[in-house]
Amino acid sequence: MRFFVTLAAALGLACAQGHAQEDRPDLFALIGAGDVEGFTAALDAGAAINVRQDTGLEATPLMWATGVDNPVFVDTLIAAGAEIDTRDAMGDPAINWAAYYGRLPAISALLDAGADTDLTGHGTPVEIVMRRGHQAALAILIDHRNERPDRHAAEAALEAAVMAGDTGTITALANYVDVASARDWAGRPVLQSAARAGQGEAVRALIEAGADPDARDRIGFTALHEAAREGRTGAVAALLAAGADPNARSEPSGLSLTPLHMAATANQVDALRLLLDAGADPDVTGTMGATPLLWATFEGAREAALALVEAGADTSIAGNFGDTARAVAEAREWDDVVAAIDAAEID
């Protein structure tokens, strides 16, 4: 499992397994096992709270602790004096890890402890939660940074109508709001709100009223990225019918991903197939050199991985970390995916 742990950590995907540390208490394993009693005893015995893992991203226990549900580990490490803004090998501090997971208690605890939200590894915390789709975490972070946009009442009413799927009100409000520039509560194109919520009719009404199907947010995501990640097939279909680009690439702050990457990452097979049918490139690579197939294997999206292999995705491409989709699938013991890749390579 060496390269899976390495690849997973390199993408901020700390698995719930500890990595053995010789000659010292294994805080990582204790956290992964949810062993609060053993963890507390190790700290009381003088365990090094800022120790780094020997492989992967050289994570600290605080980073690792953001990946588990129990907030006591993060709280205890902070109280014990853990270094808040220490960065891993990709430049991500603990709050970026918490942002990846969308762990609200961890994010709040780290913010209260003074975590720096400007540090960039594979994005800032705000950029990471936008990419991952963690709306509640995004609200906490932009409120902390005082980044809520000022909006007039009609713009807020338009978003409310979008979320309710009220196409009549959307059409009426288009007389008072520039739909093309209308933004949601976080400053993103309001069309993205419709896409995230799966409001296909609202998507159509907004586009008819002047919304750009390919309008982008601060990380370069379009409404199609959002709909694909959430598996909103009605919205995906409506956007594609309106001419949205199935190969739109986000900004480097969004890891240069396409909607197909998002569908693959989230294991949204139906959305993935709609995108492929519309001409999405299955072999496009993002900032980390990873194709949608590689992202699917990294993220544990087994069905999406199979669908991509069956669709003819190039299985020989290795990302920046050196392993192919077959190697990661083999590490996960996905015999069906490995067999499908082998059969595709023979053909």
CATH H-level, domain 2-144: superfamily: Ankyrin repeat-containing domain (1.25.40.20)
Amino acid at 54: D
Residue 11 pLDDT greater than 90, yes or no? no
DSSP 193-259: HHHHHT-HHHHHHHHHTT--TT---TT---HHHHHHHHT-HHHHHHHHHTT--TT----GGGTT--H
pLDDT score for 341: 96
- Low-confidence winner among 21-30, 154-163, 224-233 (lowest mean pLDDT): 21-30
Enumerate the domain spans of the chain.
2-144, 149-252
301, two tokens: 């999206």
> Is residue 70 very low, low, confident or very high in pLDDT (cuts 50, 70, 90)?
very high
Digit-coded pLDDT (tens) for 98-150? 999 999 999 999 999 999 999 999 999 999 999 999 999 999 999 999 999 99
281 neighbors 258 (Cβ within 8 angstroms)? yes
State the pLDDT confidence band at 57, using cuts at 50, 70 and 90. Answer: confident
Q: Which two tokens stand for residue 273?
A: 């197939």
Task: Supply the pLDDT for residue 25.
Answer: 64
pLDDT at 233: 98
Query: 149-252 has which CATH code?
Result: 1.25.40.20
Q: What is the pLDDT of residue 3?
A: 33
Q: 2-144 with 149-252: one CATH topology? A: yes
E strand residue ranges, 64-215: none
Share of the chain above pLDDT 90, in %: 88
For residue range 272-294, list pLDDT tens digits in order: 999 999 999 999 999 999 999 99
Helix 190-197 to helix 200-208 angle (10° resolution) is 160
Judge contact between 110 and 75, C-beta under 8 A: no
The confidence band for 54, taking pLDDT boundaries of 50, 70 and 90, is confident
Q: Is the pLDDT of residue 14 over 90?
A: no
Nearest to 42 by CA among 14, 77, 13, 2: 77
